[in-house]
A and B are shown apart, each in its own frame.
With several copies, the nearest count.
Chain A
């Protein structure tokens, strides 16, 4: 059993990992950049070490400083969270070389799955279905020919890619060459690896993924699937488990494919196998993420497990915590990613300060937050500041609870997508389970902010006016209490 842990991350995932580690009795160490010195993850750990870097994100990407911090603090293990160094095989190797336990898969498995071309080949060998595709193996011309042979529309992707970068959809054969060149240069710029590949673009695809756990000794279990079809800018914003609608036989085949792949990779710790599900019921391997996913809580809620605890036990050498038969699904869970962004302006990230923050509570409601009231929201980090996760006996109850909790969640001082998320999950098409990755584009016209009538607009401006001292004094002779005292606490 591990006795101590350094969490090499920030925000909600650092808080979430630290809480489980604390509950398990481990000594906990946080790391932070100066810009995060007031962040909640710093307070949650038994101790916190500062990482030095000009650019805040660089601190959390500095493997050498993080390993040095682990050694200085005496932490026996390192949890990478997601993002930053979580899928960096060299970091995992360096952690192990320093004699520390890396809470995640073997470095070579991380590297294998990080290269999309190699991962596809590996999946094919494992008998996992792949969409028809073309790799760039010999010449650019041969690649173009092979790609054209797949048929349109086509998706061009970076071999080393992720997060939608270097990705492009080709609907017209005339665009193929230009799009391929753009993708190669983007891939070179973002991943220092210009290799791209093409695969058939599934129209109205659904994103289905399977949570797996392996012991690194050939034993793998799955914890059923999640659906993450609601995305904006190629990034998930609403996830759920189980999938909105999925025939039992198809679910079984998808979960089986994921276990087959993970077993062949001799997978260790927690991972996720992602698939594209076509409207005709065919499914294709997309990629394997060799870390804890952002959306892991929906699986926790329906399976009644703590995936971070499972990760720590596996990393401590305890073996798989459950047999496959012991894992079952009860109820339904939905996660909404709360981001500082403007849904009305193509989800442009927003900055400001979380002047007022009131988190929701209640039965079946879990808010995995990563910021504190008063904290500045800068462009230095990802725009996601927390996740609202709600469980229900069934999908309708989970949605109802999430809509109510989004109404309770109050964040003032920075633009955010809270109201937008409520409109998405309360949308008739969402409630009906008619999901695909183009959902928010398809329903853009009915997902905008409601148009207020004159009385409703008057209510908003009156509510605002009473927050302005000049107006308030004229109205009541009484200014807003505290309103004019300096600082963020109005």
Chain B
């Protein structure tokens, strides 16, 4: 319960910690506690957020290590790097995209040499009768595509590798 999450706004990093979940959510930001409740509007990414009883309109979308937020009438971009991603970054581990479960390749959307942006669909795989988009986790250039259309693969198979970050 006392994990601390770092969020960076305009170059200044704030530390968020969840202090209570019942009866109400309490989030500590830089040592000050705020009571938070959220009424998800039913529209993905939109909600009414109550902070210490004050309502705020929120629209947001996450893009790899950033969360874009419209809070009331202003827009913000907040950086967040989760510990796993951070570790991968440190190890250069996000250059290779691996399958975490078996499946079959439905289509390939990126060829070696292609410039891709974070969030771009690199390939579509099928599993559980569902097509799942496999997306780039960062901007970069495709180094290699290790699978072909209709190819089955096992968990752990390398799917696509991006050029190491420069």
Q: In the complex, what distance in Å separates the CA atom of A463 from the CA atom of B69?
A: 7
Q: Is A488 an interface residue (CB 8 A)?
A: yes
Q: Is A454 an interface residue (CB 8 A)?
A: yes
Contacts of B69 in A (CB 8 A): 412, 460, 463-464, 467
Instruction: Given A412-B69, A462-B36, A464-B7, answer yes or no on A485-B131 (Cβ-Cβ < 8 Å).
Output: yes
Q: Is A382 an interface residue (CB 8 A)?
A: no
Cβ-closest chain B residue relative to A450: B74
Contact at B117–A376, with CB atoms within 8 Å? yes
Question: Chain A at the B interface: mostly helix, strand, loop or mixed?
Answer: mixed
Contacts of A466 in B (CB 8 A): 36, 38, 47, 49, 58, 60
Q: Identify A467's interface contact among B62, B73, B130, CB under 8 A.
A: B62
Q: Identify B29's interface contact among A376, A418, A458, CB under 8 A.
A: A458
Q: Is B157 an interface residue (CB 8 A)?
A: no
Contacts of A458 in B (CB 8 A): 14, 29-30, 32, 34, 51
Q: Is A410 an interface residue (CB 8 A)?
A: yes
Contact at B73–A407, with CB atoms within 8 Å? yes
Q: Is B89 an interface residue (CB 8 A)?
A: no
Q: Is A443 an interface residue (CB 8 A)?
A: no
Contact at A485–B16, with CB atoms within 8 Å? no
Stretch at the interface among A36-44, A96-104, A209-217: A36-44
Cβ-closest chain A residue relative to B62: A467
Q: Is B155 an interface residue (CB 8 A)?
A: no
Contact at B63–A355, with CB atoms within 8 Å? yes
Interface residues of A in 450-482 (CB under 8 A from B): 450, 454-455, 457-471, 474-482
Q: Is B144 an interface residue (CB 8 A)?
A: no
Q: How many residues of B contact A (CB 8 A)?
A: 67
Contact at B70–A410, with CB atoms within 8 Å? yes
Q: Is A330 an interface residue (CB 8 A)?
A: no
Contacts of A487 in B (CB 8 A): 119, 121, 133, 135
Q: Is A413 an interface residue (CB 8 A)?
A: yes
Contact at A465–B61, with CB atoms within 8 Å? no
Interface residues of B in 69-125 (CB under 8 A from A): 69-78, 80, 82, 106-107, 117, 119, 121, 124
Q: In the complex, what distance in Å separates the CA atom of A308 from the CA atom of B45?
A: 31
Contacts of A270 in B (CB 8 A): none
Closest Cβ of chain A to B110, distance in Å, is: 13
Chain B positions 119 through 149: 1 when the CB is less than 8 Å from some CB of chain A, otherwise 0:
1010010000111111100000000000001
Q: Identify B63's interface contact among A358, A413, A450, A465, CB under 8 A.
A: A413
Contact at B75–A419, with CB atoms within 8 Å? yes
Closest Cβ of chain A to B35, distance in Å, is: 11
Contact at B49–A463, with CB atoms within 8 Å? yes
Q: Is B159 an interface residue (CB 8 A)?
A: no
Contact at A463–B119, with CB atoms within 8 Å? no
Contacts of A484 in B (CB 8 A): 129-131
Q: Is A374 an interface residue (CB 8 A)?
A: yes
Q: Is B41 an interface residue (CB 8 A)?
A: yes
Contact at A482–B44, with CB atoms within 8 Å? yes
Contact at A467–B61, with CB atoms within 8 Å? yes
Closest Cβ of chain B to A39, distance in Å, is: 8
Contact at A478–B107, with CB atoms within 8 Å? yes
Q: In the complex, what distance in Å separates the CA atom of A488 from the CA atom of B121?
A: 9
Cβ-closest chain B residue relative to A48: B48
Contact at A38–B70, with CB atoms within 8 Å? no
Contacts of B59 in A (CB 8 A): 43, 356, 358, 410, 412
Q: Is A486 an interface residue (CB 8 A)?
A: yes
Chain A positions 344 through 378: 1 when the CB is less than 8 Å from some CB of chain B, otherwise 0:
00000000110110100000000000001011100
Contact at B40–A481, with CB atoms within 8 Å? yes
Cβ-closest chain B residue relative to A36: B42
Cβ-closest chain B residue relative to A49: B55
Contacts of B106 in A (CB 8 A): 478-479
Additional pairs, 7, CB under 8 Å, beyond known A457-B12, A465-B5, A465-B80: A419-B74, A459-B51, A459-B56, A466-B49, A471-B18, A475-B36, A484-B130
In the assembled complex, 29 residue pairs joining A and B whose CB atoms fall closer than 8 Å, in A order, are A37-B39, A37-B40, A37-B41, A38-B42, A43-B46, A50-B39, A374-B44, A412-B59, A413-B63, A413-B68, A454-B29, A457-B29, A459-B49, A462-B29, A463-B49, A463-B69, A463-B71, A467-B45, A467-B62, A468-B62, A475-B21, A479-B107, A480-B62, A482-B44, A483-B45, A485-B132, A486-B132, A487-B133, A489-B44
Partner-A contacts on B (CB < 8 A):
1, 3, 5, 7, 9, 12, 14, 16, 18, 21, 25, 27, 29-30, 32, 34, 36, 38-49, 51, 55-63, 67-78, 80, 82, 106-107, 117, 119, 121, 124, 129-135, 149
Partner-B contacts on A (CB < 8 A):
37-39, 42-43, 46-48, 50, 352-353, 355-356, 358, 372, 374-376, 406-408, 410-413, 415-416, 418-419, 422, 449-450, 454-455, 457-471, 474-490
